Amino acid sequence: MTTVVDRIPGDRPVFSVEFMPPRDDADELRLWNAIRSLEGLDPAFVSVTYGAGGSSRDRTIRTTGRVVTETTLVSMAHLTAVDHSVAELRNVIGWYASLGIRNVLALRGDPQGDPNGEWVQHPEGLAYAEELVSLVRSLGDFCVGVSAFPYGHPRSADLDEDTKYLVRKLRAGADFAIAQLFFEADDFLRLRDRVAAAGCETLLLPGVMPLTTPKILSKTVELSGAPVPASLAGRLDPLAGDAKAFREEGMNVTTELCARLLAEGVPSLHFYTFNRSKATKEIVVERLGLVPGRTAQPVG
């Protein structure tokens, strides 16, 4: 099985995409339309989220398995420690292995029902993501990723402490890290600098979500834990009542962000898709030219 690290060559920029397990039949159709639409662009890998507290575990396993067996895509599964005993985690990891999945994103995860709620360790479970990394690595030849937070995890006292915990996850056996959402390229680049200053060399990938609607912008605030910068608000807020104009300017903002990251040597971009493909395809094909043989438009 090809690993995530294998799929990011370093000599040219690539991209990856993230999907969510479907909630119903209509969502499943939407998801698979997006998967088939992006498959021909040969993303470096695709991931399927696990859901808060493991609430979508079965759908995640089923969807990830279908990606492995029914597509040509390299698949990465998510795994969280929330509300799971070690025995249950071993069982899920075993399921992944039986499906031929060798790429796992190991997350401590958020409490079910309230992402900002109090973390409560399962009495027979794990307390930290670094323990989950070690567990996954102990059970097979897995390529393991972890999460990173450009603005620091909400439960970290400051950025120095947050960097310390990220480095511990990486040194526990993680092969790469994917950064949570952020608004400006410098936010990610400073994270990269902090990790390097700690003496840790790793593959660090930025998470990107095309800003196509005011709702997506609000979701980015929620997931990043940071307010919209004044410069960005000045570009997008006046367009909130004009869907077409907002999308165009939001896509311009996202394209500029991606172009700056690539110019700074970032080897791959990880797109959060919300199970849709149009915006991601437009950016990676038409605007950035990350797909060989396709022509990109000038940025700016």
Whether 18 sits among the annotated catalytic residues: the reply is yes
Sheet holding 176-179, edge to edge: 203-205, 176-179, 143-148, 103-107, 75-80, 46-48, 14-19, 268-272, 207-208
- Please state, in angstroms and rounded to a whole number, the distance separating the CA atoms of residues 87 and 23: 26
The three-class DSSP label of residue 288 is coil
Which one from 18, 130, 131, 282 is the annotated catalytic residue?
18
277-283, Cβ contacts within 8 angstroms, sequence gap of 24 or more: 277/33, 277/34, 277/37, 277/38, 279/210, 279/212, 279/251, 279/254, 280/15, 280/17, 280/38, 280/210, 281/37, 281/38, 281/41, 282/210, 282/251, 283/210, 283/251, 283/254, 283/255, 283/258
Distance between terminal CA atoms of the chain?
Answer: 39
Which of the residues are catalytic? 18
